Structure 1
């Protein structure tokens, strides 16, 4: 059955397609940057050019499916199906399968230089750990599946009292190989993801930074076990010996490079390394900032610092102290340290003028600009209690879809 499309160059076609084949078509078309109707058009065109029928497809349970095709294409395809002695449903299934075979899942693009994202703010309680975990999870999701992403082109729209400024769309997972580094001796990231901190009498990142590593750093890394991440999301757990890190670094030569020296050995295993920094402005923060500096021949914005703030006044004071320290490092050591942006966390417009005016103040800064606004919702707290990644615990909640948008914003 067909009906004209209002655009005049396509007509609506109603046919049938097995649900599993339709879902695979939806995912693969998105992965290849095409609309489903364009993929079906290409498949039918290729099928009509074949000299013989492909292998029959099981179309049991096929469901009604509608798409738009160029005027005349469906009539010609229907005539070809009659001539080849097969049903329209079988013909469409063969055409879609042919397109899928000709358009495999594209390779995930790997960065030339491992991305190093330093998630920081010297103020505690702003949610650095939640942002580190959620961003890493969003970067590691399955590249052969679609996930809901909440996209807002203008964060200022969040301040509007009416209407929904945000739009949802299904996009492929980013499929990055991600290492989360719990650089905070409190170990919140480690515990949130269901792991135990490293024992004090064993090996640790602190030991490797101080030049006293007891083995291969890889042996300390654990996998975050969730199907949607495959084997792409790993964690370097915290150890409480990190409370002594600044003291130990004081005796280390070129101490600002200590974190880089420790992690260099495992960088080749990953596309992105995220550092969950402690609420501190000590030597550990210097080492983290240095690690996030732009390396020779590295693209601007590939690595750098991502600052987590809240829509309230005390965050502004902490932000000033942190950026002063980063600027001092930039000048003293002649480094290029890029700001990847500001993430306004725990945002809730219902808190009134303090929240909305503070958000406006963050957006007014412009450089660094706001790259994410994450709501203050119950799902994050529930995921922490369950000791599961948020994007696995509540993949469609507002925080999850916003974190996927943040992952894409920081990957540009």
Structure 2
């Protein structure tokens, strides 16, 4: 069955098993091609075959529509009849052929692991939520589709006062990266929010490894963040309350700025991205985190760096000024190439009126670093924290999750 459509294509309606429809949708997205072009290529390849492929189970096939070049469907219908197969069977074989000749791409492993330093001297801005959400989005299954906010539309929608449901979304494959979340905050919020216990103070910890007091292998402290959508790609290095003593311990360590890098060097090679959830501090621990995020020799600009989390209110601007001053001092004193990955405006709610909207506008006016994400102040994040689950597992289609995926792609 066909019907007219604009341009040089006609709408085609047939049937296809649900599993094949889903596989086709995911694989086409992975290869960044339209479904219609994938089906067109599959039919073209099937028609060139000298014999039929093995029969495909089409039981329970459901309605399937696409657009094909004018005339291709009628020619395909004739070929199916001459080969003695039904139209549905021929279409299924064509789709299977395209899937087999266009396998899922493997994740590209970076030469340098991406190091994301989420920070701000001000507490309560949601650094932990941004660190966790970004890591979860980077680690999501690449063989499944997930809703992603189309970033070019979010600012217009927010400034226009539209509801979050009006923002444009697109279903895209997950990024499928191996991610390590490092809880670098003695308050242990990231550890607890993901359902784990802080490391016992009498045992081994990241602090002890940084201070030269390691009791074992750092890898033995790492735990998985378990959910099928992350596979075994998302891991956590839990915090310990002994991190309250880190600045004091670092004051006696030689080359203390490199202490975090020395500690993590034993395990960072196992990951594509390492995300540091920093404490609200401008002390020696922040120096060590910023140094870890510097651009290494041969590393592309913007692969690693500082991700500043703020809110749409005045105190965040004051804290931002203190943080950027510290980063500039580090850059100058140690001759570091330390990049900003951008600014994330978190907990945004236009209903708070002029203070929120004007503050967001002020953040948007900063062009270097620029705003790379705006995350709404909605209930799902708070609920996920209460039940100690990752946000993208607890509510994968909520607006905050959709925004986290856009943020991850913006800085990846």
Q: State the alpha-carbon separation in 2 of the partners of residues 401 and 358 from structure 1.
A: 23
Q: State the alpha-carbon separation in 2 of the partners of residues 110 and 363 from structure 1.
A: 32
SS of the aligned residue for 2:94 comes to helix
- Measured against aligned partners, the alpha-carbon deviations of 1:326-353 in whole angstroms (never above 9, x if no partner) come to 1000000010110000000000000000
- Measured against aligned partners, the alpha-carbon deviations of 1:94-138 in whole angstroms (never above 9, x if no partner) come to 110111111111011121111100000010000000000000000
SS of the aligned residue for 2:265 comes to helix
SS of the aligned residue for 2:329 comes to helix
Matched, 1:390 2:378: no
Q: State the alpha-carbon separation in 1 of the partners of residues 363 and 393 from structure 2.
A: 30
Equivalence for 1:124: 123
Q: State the 1:152 CA deviation.
A: 2.7
SS of the aligned residue for 1:325 comes to helix
Unaligned runs of 5+ in 2: none
Matched, 1:36 2:32: no
Q: 1:55 to 1:408 in 2, by over 3 A?
A: same
Equivalence for 2:346: 345
Unaligned runs of 5+ in 1: none
SS of the aligned residue for 2:212 comes to coil
Q: State the alpha-carbon separation in 1 of the partners of residues 301 and 197 from structure 2.
A: 36
Cα root mean square deviation, aligned: 1.0
Q: State the 1:156 CA deviation.
A: 3.7
Equivalence for 2:77: 78
Equivalence for 1:160: 160
Equivalence for 2:255: 254
Equivalence for 1:283: 284
Q: State the alpha-carbon separation in 2 of the partners of residues 88 and 295 from structure 1.
A: 57
Q: State the alpha-carbon separation in 2 of the partners of residues 295 and 63 from structure 1.
A: 52
Q: State the alpha-carbon separation in 1 of the partners of residues 162 and 123 from structure 2.
A: 33
- Measured against aligned partners, the alpha-carbon deviations of 1:359-380 in whole angstroms (never above 9, x if no partner) come to 0000111111000000000000
Q: State the 1:162 CA deviation.
A: 5.2
Q: State the alpha-carbon separation in 2 of the partners of residues 81 and 363 from structure 1.
A: 57
Report if aligned partners of 2:260, 2:288 keep a CA contact under 8 Å in 1. yes
Report if aligned partners of 2:153, 2:168 keep a CA contact under 8 Å in 1. no
Matches within 5 A, 1:242-321: 242-321=243-322
Q: What's the TM-score once normalised by structure 1's chain length?
A: 0.98
Q: State the 1:155 CA deviation.
A: 4.8
Report if aligned partners of 1:137, 1:233 keep a CA contact under 8 Å in 2. yes
Equivalence for 1:227: 228
- Measured against aligned partners, the alpha-carbon deviations of 1:139-181 in whole angstroms (never above 9, x if no partner) come to 0000011000012315541111358773110000000100000
Q: State the 1:4 CA deviation.
A: 2.2
Q: What's the TM-score once normalised by structure 2's chain length?
A: 0.98
Matches within 5 A, 1:65-214: 65-153=64-152, 155-157=154-156, 158-161=158-161, 166-214=167-215
Equivalence for 1:2: 2
Report if aligned partners of 1:48, 1:77 keep a CA contact under 8 Å in 2. yes
The total of aligned residue pairs comes to 410
Q: 1:268 to 1:163 in 2, by over 3 A?
A: closer
Q: Which runs of 4+ in 1 moved over 2 A?
A: 161-166
Q: State the alpha-carbon separation in 1 of the partners of residues 162 and 144 from structure 2.
A: 33
